[in-house]
A and B are shown apart, each in its own frame.
Chain A
Amino acid sequence: MTDLFIEWIIKILVIFGILLTAVAYLSYMERKVMGWIQLRKGPNRVGPGGLLQPLADGLKFMFKEDIIPLQANRLLFALAPMLFLVPAVMTFIVIPYGSEVTLFGRTIALHVTRFDVGLLYVLALASLGVYGIALAGWSSNNKYSLIGALRSSAQMISYELALGLSIVGVLIQSGSLDLVKIVEAQGGWHGLKWNVFLVQPFGFIIFFISALAETNRVPFDLPEAEAELVAGYHTEYSSMKMGMFLMAEEFNVITSSSVAATLFFGGWMGPGVGTYPWLSIVYFLAKVFILVFVFVWIRFTLPRFRYDQLMTLGWKFLLPAAILNVIFTATVMMLFPGLR
């Protein structure tokens, strides 16, 4: 039992370390890519090629003055960034990063833990993130924060429906909520068995659009729009609390990309993982990186939606599309049971 415990702690700490670095460098990558898309270079002064920019940003956040407005609810004000950050981080214990590897004579499976309802756990944590935003807007005692928070919460819950229903399509194929089993069911056929190709191309599109809206990224970032609502739910935040909101948004991007890679792109599957299990980590990271790049790419390509366009898309297009996707998948599986 003790060495199981030690294994968990080591895995959690390693994953945490990698994630925190990844989140910091995601902001760097975003600014660099933004620069290149806008025909200029991104940050390149701080450190070689601008690589120490996230460190400078982190230090800046820590040294800034932490202002709490006068009539704000202090406890909720401090709690809200944590409520937004912690569920985003907790998702990572069920995502499988690779197949089993042998290290120091033990066979270690590359996921922190595995339980039968892994996917349900991920969905539940995504729902918990809404609390952080709603409380941030409410506790700031600022009209614009409150309106921004209400809009953002309404947006997030609307797209959560389409998210959940697009996952149902994957579940009908896999027959299990266990993420490890979903990945293993996508092996073989030289990559053609990934869920995005054969099974759920529409499921992936619905999932991706919903993930864009869930993480409040452009084109769905009206709740944080600068020109419209000052800064939406994080208007009154300063210093590290603001830093935590921004960090949590990047965390959500990485989480959504990891879940999409696991559900639709075969997780750690790729050529040669049978003989070289360490390759599975490389494949997983490559897939997540490509999906994160698509998130960033979309951000600097598309203009922002108006709020009613956003809600119309979520309720009148994505939700019926997701329901029809489920009906269609179930019907096809019913008619052609040999198509596993």
Chain B
Amino acid sequence: MDSAGTVDYIPIILVFLVGVGVASAMLAMPLLLARKRASKVKLEPYECGVEPVGTARERQSVKFYLVAMVFLLFDIEAVFLIPWAVVFPNVLHDPAYSSFRYVLYGEMMLFLVVLFIGLVYVWRQGILNWTR
């Protein structure tokens, strides 16, 4: 099978449909087979047997938000790293680009060093420290 045809992406849709179909069948089975005897106690949110205190929609800690933000920054870094990593060995082993390889290497190392300094900064700020 040769690669890089648009037709090769169709199995994604196929497997998605098969997956959703199987998952829906699994969700639908208890509707047919299981019994339904709702009682007030069963419908309450579970809080180890006591009456629930407060709603579940209260404010949560901001640490999760900060972690997500920092994750976003480093994920963008990974997004830049992956195409570079795919190109890098091909340029290294191609004699027509013998001087470009140093530029390729140097630029990405600079990028990584800058991001490493960013990680150290985030570390020193304490964002990574108090996530319980």
Contacts and interface: CB of A to CB of B under 8 A. Distances in A.
B120 to A, nearest CB: 9
Dominant SS at the A interface?
helix
Interface in A99-125: 109, 112-116, 120-121
Given A164-B78, A319-B119, A330-B108, 5 more contacts: A71-B45, A141-B57, A142-B47, A143-B58, A157-B67
Interface residues of B, number: 76
Interface residues of A, number: 91
Contacts of B14: 8-9, 12
Given A157-B68, A311-B128, A82 B11 contact: no
Given A90-B15, A161-B71, A315-B128, A115 B26 contact: no
B125 interface: no
Contacts of B8: 113-115
Contact of A320 (B19, B33, B37, B116): B116
A116 B3 contact: yes
Dominant SS at the B interface?
helix
A165 B116 CA distance: 13
Given A70-B44, A172-B85, A340-B93, A89 B34 contact: no
A112 B11 contact: yes
B132 A158 contact: no
Contacts of A239: 30, 34
B100 interface: no
Contacts of B115: 323
17 contacts: A64-B34, A68-B43, A82-B24, A86-B20, A93-B11, A113-B10, A116-B4, A144-B47, A161-B71, A164-B75, A165-B78, A172-B85, A175-B86, A236-B46, A316-B128, A319-B74, A337-B93
Given A8-B14, A65-B35, A115-B4, A330 B74 contact: no
Interface in A153-176: 153-154, 157-158, 160-161, 164-165, 167-168, 171-176
B36 to A, nearest CB: 6
Complex A-B, nearest 4 residue pairs according to Cβ-Cβ distance, in ascending order = A175-B89, A171-B85, A142-B45, A113-B11
A218 B56 CA distance: 27
A324 to B, nearest CB: 8
Interface string A129-160: 00000000000111111110011011001101
Interface in A1-52: 1, 4-5, 8-9, 12-13, 16, 20
A121 B8 CA distance: 13
Contact of B10 (A8, A121, A340): A8
Given A146-B56, A244-B27, A82 B20 contact: yes
B99 interface: no
A171 B46 contact: no
A326 interface: yes
Contacts of B60: 146-147, 150
Contacts of A70: 43-45
Contacts of A66: 30-31, 34, 36
